[in-house]
Structure 1
Amino acid sequence: MEWIRPEDAGYDEARTLFNAMIDRRPAVIAQCSSAADIREALAYGRQHGLEIAVRSGGHSVAGMSMNDGGLVIDVRGLKDITVDPQARTATVGGGATWGEFDRAAQPYGLAVTGGRVSTTGVSGFTLGGGSGWMDRGWGLACDNLVSVNLVTAAGEEATASAGENPELFWALHGGGGNFGVATSLTFKMYDVGEQVLCGLMLWPLGQARDVARAYRDFVPASPEALGSCLVTLIAPPEEFVPAELQGKPALGLVVVYTGDPEEGREAVRPLRSLQPAADIVGPRPYADFQCMLDDAPGQLNYWTADYHDEFPDAALDVFLRFGEALPHESSQMLLAPWGGRAGRVDPASTPMARRTAQWITHPFAVWQDPAQTAEAIGWAKGFRRDIAPYASGGVYLNFIGHEGQERIMAAFGPENYARLARIKRDFDPDNIFRGNQNILPAAGEPVETEGAIAH
């Protein structure tokens, strides 16, 4: 393990996160490469009364994986990835990114629902639920967990699975990093073969209303093997984009079909019939597709989100109105479908409320000049205000920053939150792990947690 302090040469690099709005200075960063390192770091933090944050991919938009004056447990050294093609499972270290995981699984033609960009950390993404391109076909990432190994607040190594610490396992299906530091996660995997049909289509905003309506009406009956997302963006200056569209607001449609590419061509045919101005949908390895929308780090970010049970024309009008007024060329407005397998899980199997939501809106404010901060955040908040009549309540917490305890409660609902609070009390009664969408420990004494023992 390496301890990095403010006077050390690598300190600034070690504390840098994806969101450039976050500029925090911890007292010490513990770069860990084993569960033993994590135990040692936790003991040090508790001995010295330091606030503790856990850093993996560093994609928390609110900077929850960094703090001021405390200890950061950096688990990026835990990157071991093992794929079992016969069992169709994979075990991945808690410090790996989705790009690393997808690259390791690609030679076996296997994958699982992952982040929409490759630089997101596997553990934080999954423990927060894990919404990606293949929600409708494969469910969320957390729905595909077989087990999680973690180090608890007490410094014990524990395994959570359906048969071992089942209450803790339930909590890790969306309850975030409230219960320990994940050292490895084991997933059920799915076939993607050597290539999938995937890519991007673009239309000028003059066609956006008709295309958006057609897409909304198309999704519910579309194959669940087809992942997609509607997005407004500034068309990039790329060769595949017509010159007259480059640098202008456009409507985009991202698609990926995780079956036979020929079947995929038939699946997207109704969308291609809408005559996109640009179309780079074609066969490519799934791991390559997962990198297509990667954003460069170093930009300022503010995100928020809402669930929707339906998305009427009036909601589409709000979506497009704000999509035409992006605050910066890097900003985007996303409309992602849920439904399918993501909505068919037993409601009692995860703490996440409103799993039957059909859509998620996700204003993705990204900008570079700090002088534009008020405008960019105001744009995202303005969209939430105007879309509120069409929202169904609840929220996917990985898509938002610090928006208050009320939003955390809405993500789980009162009964699930109370259950999470009891599990939090049992595994982290002192709320050591509070650098997250925090669940407050329930009152009362922790109960004995059978199976949560060192191994």
Structure 2
Amino acid sequence: MHSADTIPVVWNENSSAEQYERARVGRVFNLRRPDRFPVAIVEAEKEEHIFEAVQLARKKDLRISVRSGGHSWAAWSVRDGAILIDLGKYKQIDLDEKTGIVAVSPSTTGQAINSFLGQKSLMFPGGHCPDVGLGGFLLQGGMGWVCRSWGWACQRLVAIDVITADSRRIRCDKNDHSDLFWAARGAGPGFPAIITKFYLQTISLPTHIRESVYIFPKEDFKIAFEWVTSIAEAYDTDTEIVCVGRFVPDYKESVVLVCFTTFKSSDEDAVKALQIAEDSVPPTSLQKHFARPTSLQQQYVQQGLANPSGHRYCTDNAYIDNDADVPDVLEKAFTTLPSRKSFALWYAMAPLSRRTLPDMALSMHSDHYFAIYTVWEGAEDDEQCQSWTFNIMKEMEPHTIGQYLGDSDFQVRNTKYWGKDQGEKLMRIRQNWDSDGRICGYLDRGDKSGTSGLQNIL
């Protein structure tokens, strides 16, 4: 058994308040800090530190929580009575240039991996926000770049290295420990082991990226939305399509943006793909920006501005039923935003949502992914902003089929996250690999779910 003295650990009981608080929540993106207090935080710098932290938790009979990027809106990593393993200082990116498979540590961000891969003319469709770690992103499924056609990021997962709750180091893929590999693609924060490395299949980097943006007054939300949904399913497969309700500097009232971002190998192909939208856009738009050149790094800058650090966040999401009157269901969310930095987002999922998914834990989607990102600055607005988010989702609930794990808070709302059979299988795998609940699972109200996990019902 290794000594705690050999690993970088900050104990609650004998560290300064400043040191402990920095370790506890310094890397939590959401400034709305949780009122939960781990027994200790291990700031791992290498895999051996993770292994020793697991042994330490077993010796002291403590639970284990894990932080990859710190971007979890609900701060799932910060748990009472646990040793928090923070992977922020554990950095690794290794590319096998023959196979195009890249091995990365969980805290590696989408921007970091693509800055590295871009030098090799490669790409991985990670998270849109530049500072999202791949660990949480991939475990939740990974709604990455051009997900509507390129597929879920977790579908490009080749293997994982894990440390189990009983301190074993194993590699999991479709042949070895295939149940854990199955679970890693969609289990979210209830994955019953600690992943130390992901092995990911990269793709060729599109050399010509262009975007078209159309801005509509919020009164014309339905006009804009009905237009974009009428062309989305059959649209060019290398084009990402989103509709956003938000405030922009040019206008006092919030507006509706419809954005098409295409990833191509030539300018000619990029312009051709965007021309379909340009030729059909309704005449009521306030502004049109057709086929302007951009880059992946510029996209990260835009995403970073839309999701500023140092702010308070409350998020929620839903897959809207394909048979619902979707414009009517979403109109209130898009046109009554509670603060100038908040935004509502619709993400086109077709044609991916019409395909049969591989056999993996991830098993929930529809043509219409909707998410609210309520963003504000002061604690005095907590009640107003959280209530608005809750009420919007409550009204919408009868028209939804489930939820994406990534933008969820199980303490506030529980719904369906997987297909029935997949959800039951996942909970059995969790019991098999961590029957004692050593690794903190899904953080529901009061942190009571333990090894039982989530109910997975509407």
8 A contact 1:299–1:367 mirrored in 2: yes
| 1:289 lines up with 2:299 in the alignment | yes
The residue number in structure 2 matching 1:396 is: 404
8 A contact 1:201–1:281 mirrored in 2: no
| 1:4 lines up with 2:10 in the alignment | yes
* Pair 1:106–1:156, CA change in 2 (3 A): same
Report the CA distance between 1:215 and its aligned residue: 0.5
| 1:149 lines up with 2:161 in the alignment | yes
Using the alignment, how far apart are the partners of 2:431 and 2:207 within structure 1? 46
| 1:27 lines up with 2:46 in the alignment | no
The residue number in structure 1 matching 2:137 is: 125
The residue number in structure 1 matching 2:221 is: 208
The residue number in structure 2 matching 1:257 is: 262
The residue number in structure 2 matching 1:240 is: none
| 1:329 lines up with 2:340 in the alignment | yes
Superposition RMSD in Å: 2.4
The residue number in structure 2 matching 1:449 is: none
Report the CA distance between 1:359 and its aligned residue: 1.0
1:161 equivalent among 161, 173, 187: 173
Question: What is the letter of the counterpart of residue 362 of structure 2?
Answer: M
Using the alignment, how far apart are the partners of 2:277 and 2:98 within structure 1? 36
The TM-score normalised by the length of structure 1 is 0.87
Report the CA distance between 1:406 and its aligned residue: 4.7
Question: What is the letter of the counterpart of residue 327 of structure 1?
Answer: P
8 A contact 1:106–1:285 mirrored in 2: no
Matches within 5 A, 1:271-420: 271-273=277-279, 274=281, 275=285, 277=287, 279=289, 281-294=291-304, 295-310=307-322, 314-341=325-352, 343-346=354-357, 349-355=359-365, 357-391=366-400, 393-403=401-411, 406-407=414-415, 410-420=416-426
Using the alignment, how far apart are the partners of 2:428 and 2:441 within structure 1? 18
1:290-315 deviations in Å (ceiling 9; x for gaps):
33211222211111111124265x43
The residue number in structure 2 matching 1:452 is: none
Structure 2 counterpart SS, 1:12: helix
| 1:48 lines up with 2:60 in the alignment | yes
Using the alignment, how far apart are the partners of 1:390 and 1:100 within structure 2? 38
| 1:188 lines up with 2:193 in the alignment | no
Question: What is the letter of the counterpart of residue 418 of structure 2?
Answer: F
8 A contact 1:42–1:155 mirrored in 2: yes
8 A contact 1:106–1:194 mirrored in 2: no
The residue number in structure 1 matching 2:118 is: 106
The residue number in structure 1 matching 2:72 is: 60
Using the alignment, how far apart are the partners of 2:101 and 2:350 within structure 1? 24
8 A contact 2:41–2:85 mirrored in 1: yes
Question: What is the letter of the counterpart of residue 293 of structure 2?
Answer: P
- Unaligned runs of 5+ residues in structure 2 are 1-6, 454-458
Report the CA distance between 1:442 and its aligned residue: 6.9
Using the alignment, how far apart are the partners of 2:452 and 2:337 within structure 1? 42
* Pair 1:200–1:151, CA change in 2 (3 A): farther
| 1:13 lines up with 2:22 in the alignment | yes
1:197 equivalent among 171, 191, 210: 210
Question: What is the letter of the counterpart of residue 110 of structure 2?
Answer: W
Question: What is the letter of the counterpart of residue 198 of structure 1?
Answer: E
Structure 2 counterpart SS, 1:304: strand
Aligned length: 429
8 A contact 1:139–1:342 mirrored in 2: no
Structure 2 counterpart SS, 1:287: helix
* Pair 1:145–1:342, CA change in 2 (3 A): farther
8 A contact 1:311–1:359 mirrored in 2: no
8 A contact 1:113–1:139 mirrored in 2: no
Report the CA distance between 1:209 and its aligned residue: 2.4
8 A contact 1:233–1:251 mirrored in 2: yes
Matches within 5 A, 1:432-447: 432-436=438-442, 441=451
Structure 1 counterpart SS, 2:107: coil
* Pair 1:288–1:184, CA change in 2 (3 A): farther
| 1:174 lines up with 2:186 in the alignment | yes
The residue number in structure 1 matching 2:231 is: 218
The residue number in structure 1 matching 2:3 is: none
Report the CA distance between 1:54 and its aligned residue: 0.5
| 1:91 lines up with 2:103 in the alignment | yes
* Pair 1:382–1:358, CA change in 2 (3 A): same
The TM-score normalised by the length of structure 2 is 0.87
Using the alignment, how far apart are the partners of 2:228 and 2:427 within structure 1? 40
1:136-189 deviations in Å (ceiling 9; x for gaps):
222111111011111111111111111211111111110124221111111112
1:228-254 deviations in Å (ceiling 9; x for gaps):
21110011x3xxxxx4x2x43011123
Structure 2 counterpart SS, 1:292: helix
Report the CA distance between 1:426 and its aligned residue: 2.0
Using the alignment, how far apart are the partners of 1:141 and 1:221 within structure 2? 21
1:119-139 deviations in Å (ceiling 9; x for gaps):
111011101111123112221
Structure 2 counterpart SS, 1:131: coil
Question: What is the letter of the counterpart of residue 114 of structure 2?
Answer: D
Structure 2 counterpart SS, 1:20: coil
* Pair 1:334–1:151, CA change in 2 (3 A): same
Structure 2 counterpart SS, 1:148: strand
* Pair 1:300–1:165, CA change in 2 (3 A): same
* Pair 1:437–1:399, CA change in 2 (3 A): same
8 A contact 2:232–2:350 mirrored in 1: no
Structure 2 counterpart SS, 1:29: strand
8 A contact 1:418–1:442 mirrored in 2: no
Structure 1 counterpart SS, 2:303: coil
Question: What is the letter of the counterpart of residue 207 of structure 1?
Answer: D
| 1:228 lines up with 2:241 in the alignment | yes
Between 142-151 and 320-329, the greater mean CA deviation after superposition: 320-329
8 A contact 1:192–1:286 mirrored in 2: no
Report the CA distance between 1:419 and its aligned residue: 1.3
8 A contact 2:207–2:263 mirrored in 1: no
Using the alignment, how far apart are the partners of 1:292 and 1:131 within structure 2? 17
